[in-house]
Each structure stands twice: as C-alpha cells, then as structure tokens.
C-alpha cells in the first residue's frame, strides 16, 4: 500500500497550522487534544507514525519545503494546498515567533532586549530575503519557497490566500473540503470556520500551556517551549496588513525594495 499525500505547503508563519485545524475539523471534528492534530493532519517535522503511512488513504501533511519532500517510505503526491500571505505580515509574525523562542531560551526578555532582538532579526530577514535559519534548512527565501509550489509543482493545487481566508472563512473552508474530496454539509463547514477562528486557537494554546511540554502543539523555534506566563504566543493577532505595528517606516521601505517585485507577481502590493 502507498499513502496518497496532499501537502499543506507554506513559508513558515503563513497560516499552515490554521489550515491544519480546519482540515482536522472537517475530517474528524473539533480538536479535543493537541495530539489529535498530529495524528490526523501531521506535521512532517514532528514525525509521522508508521501505522499512519501503512495505508492507501489520503493524508494531508504539513511541510515548509520548497518542493514535495521525500519521506522514508514510498508515497504518492496527489496534490498540494499552498498558503500564501503578504510577505511583510509573514515577517512580522516571524518576529513574534522568534521572540517567543528567545524568551523561552533565556528565561525572559526585557523591553530593551526584545527591541534589539527584533531590529536585528528584521535586518537579517530582509537582507537574506527570508529567515536565514529557514534558508539553511533548505526551505528557501520567501520568494523561492512560493515559486517552488506555484511555478514548478505540476500536480493538482489549491491556492489559499491568507487574507481571503480571513475575510471569507466559510468560503475558504468549503474550497478546502472540495479539494480534499470531503462530502460535508454546509453546517459542518460553518462550524469549522467558527471553531477554527483565531480566538478559539488562542484559547487552545492557553489551555495547552498548562499541560505537559511534550503535548504542547504551539512550540517556538527549535521546539522551544515558552513558560505559561510568556507574553508571546504562537497564535498571535492573525491580522492582515498588521506589519506596520512591528516594522518601522525604514524597515517597510527596505522590505518593499526586497520583496516588492515578487509580492506583485504573487498578487500583493507593498505600500512603503
């Protein structure tokens, strides 16, 4: 038997976990435990059980690779759900994500330390066209990652714009269900859109922070586990066009120079 894989592909902090929540809800109901998500809609970087792959079933798998990755067992790639988000919102979300990891590693950050870390991270990210660590993992720059899926992947593909999913969640959930061949009712689609809102995801993150670290779904970079009282959350604000709250005017201008041409090609504009 050979599992049939649908990749849930994105550059980190573009909404991959959000889409995994939606798929779980459509196929298995409301998330009851963080481990349920890994079992039904696995993150390839956390490992996939052998029993899950010993089937010819359709398996949605999270990836940040630029192309369909190779797994340890033979698989058949039958499609990809590609999530795209405004590049400067992706950058702003990564700032929060890495602040969460830095606070976990150091035991906390002062306002001055957080400010210094943010400015240094943003400069490195813009200078490289993406997170230098992500590039070292083989995930590419923001532009390279998207190009791999939008211009070089030839299989069936569903393109999800993060902002559109925010604006019209039920429409987006219905598109996901159709692409995966899930026969679900309008009521189930509405429930998935409601129960996978950012408020609900933030609530789940808060609850899981009180549990065993090994069960924590919302880890930081390099699997760091923030303390329950940390100010930084994996599920951040979830806004569109919120990068002006994180980036300075100068950083936005630099970001426009670095990401503007690719952003336009992928349907975005950057107001510098």
pLDDT in tens, 13-24: 999 988 998 999
CA 61 vs CA 58, 179, 256: distances in Å: 10, 14, 32
pLDDT bucket at 125, cuts 50 / 70 / 90: very high
Residue 76: Cβ-neighbour burial (10 angstroms; 0-12, 13-18, 19+): exposed
Q: Read off the pLDDT of each residue in 246-257 and give the average, rounded to a whole number.
A: 95
Per-residue model confidence as pLDDT tens digits over 129-152: 999 999 999 999 999 999 999 999
Neighbours of 153 (CB within 10 A): 19
Q: For tokens 């590693």, what's the residue?
A: 105
Mean pLDDT, the chain, integer: 85
What lies within 8 Å, CB to CB, of 116 at 6+ separation is none
At 214 the pLDDT is 46
Spatial separation of the C-alpha atoms in residues 256 and 94, rounded to whole Å:
17
At 270 the pLDDT is 80
Spatial separation of the C-alpha atoms in residues 217 and 205, rounded to whole Å:
8
Tokens of 156: 């069936």
Per-residue model confidence as pLDDT tens digits over 97-121: 888 878 777 777 788 998 999 999 9
State yes or no: pLDDT of 72 exceeds 90.
no
Please state the pTM of the whole predicted model. Answer: 0.87
pLDDT > 90: what percent of the chain?
Answer: 52
Spatial separation of the C-alpha atoms in residues 252 and 58, rounded to whole Å:
41
State yes or no: pLDDT of 253 exceeds 60.
yes
Q: For tokens 């340890």, what's the residue?
A: 72
At 239 the pLDDT is 63
State yes or no: pLDDT of 58 exceeds 70.
yes
State yes or no: pLDDT of 250 exceeds 90.
yes
At 208 the pLDDT is 63
State yes or no: pLDDT of 92 exceeds 70.
yes
What lies within 8 Å, CB to CB, of 188 at 6+ separation is 26
In CATH, what number does 4-265 get?
A: 3.40.50.300
Q: Read off the pLDDT of each residue in 221-237 and give the average, rounded to a whole number.
A: 58
Q: For tokens 């999800």, what's the residue?
A: 160
State yes or no: pLDDT of 160 exceeds 60.
yes
Q: Bigger pLDDT: 232 or 126?
A: 126
Q: Read off the pLDDT of each residue in 69-78 and give the average, rounded to a whole number.
A: 86
State yes or no: pLDDT of 234 exceeds 70.
no
At 73 the pLDDT is 81
Q: Which string of DSSP letters, residue by residue, matches the chain?
A: --PEEEEEE-STTSSHHHHHHHHHHHHH-S--SHHHHHHHS-BGGG---HHHHSSSSEEEEEE--SSPPPPSS--EEEEEEEEE--HHHHHHHHHHHHHHHHHHHHT---HHHHHHHHHHHHHHHHHHTS-HHHHHTT---HHHHHHHHHTS--S-EEEEEHHHHHHSHHHHHHHHHHHHT----HHHHHHHHHHTSHHHHHHHHHHHTTS-GGG-SS--GGG----TT-S--SS----SS-GGGTS-HHHHHHHHHHHHHHHHHTT-----
Q: Bigger pLDDT: 127 or 111?
A: 127
């Amino acid at each position: 038997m050979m599992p049939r894989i649908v990749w849930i592909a994105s550059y980190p902090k573009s909404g991959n976990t959000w889409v995994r929540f939606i798929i779980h809800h459509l196929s298995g109901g409301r998330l009851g435990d963080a481990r349920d998500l890994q079992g039904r809609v696995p993150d390839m970087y956390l490992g996939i059980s052998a029993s899950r792959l010993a089937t010819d079933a359709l398996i949605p798998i999270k990836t940040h690779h630029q192309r369909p990755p190779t797994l340890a067992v033979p698989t058949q790639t039958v499609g990809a759900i590609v999530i795209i988000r405004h590049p400067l919102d992706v950058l702003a979300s990564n700032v929060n994500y890495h602040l969460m990891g830095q606070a976990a590693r150091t035991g906390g950050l002062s306002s001055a330390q957080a400010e210094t870390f943010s400015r240094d991270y943003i400069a490195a990210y813009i200078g490289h066209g993406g997170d230098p660590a992500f590039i070292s993992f083989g995930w590419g720059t923001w532009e390279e990652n998207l190009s791999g899926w939008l211009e070089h992947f030839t299989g069936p593909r569903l393109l999800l714009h993060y902002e559109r999913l925010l604006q019209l969640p039920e429409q987006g959930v219905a598109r996901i269900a159709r692409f995966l061949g899930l026969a679900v009712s309008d009521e189930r689609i509405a429930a998935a859109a409601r129960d996978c809102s950012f408020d609900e995801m933030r609530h789940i993150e808060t609850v899981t922070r009180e549990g065993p670290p090994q069960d924590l779904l919302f880890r930081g970079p390099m699997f760091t586990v923030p303390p329950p009282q940390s100010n930084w959350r994996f599920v951040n604000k979830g806004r569109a066009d919120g990068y002006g709250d994180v980036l300075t005017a100068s950083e936005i201008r630099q970001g426009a120079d670095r990401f503007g041409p690719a952003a336009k090609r992928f349907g975005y504009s950057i107001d510098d």
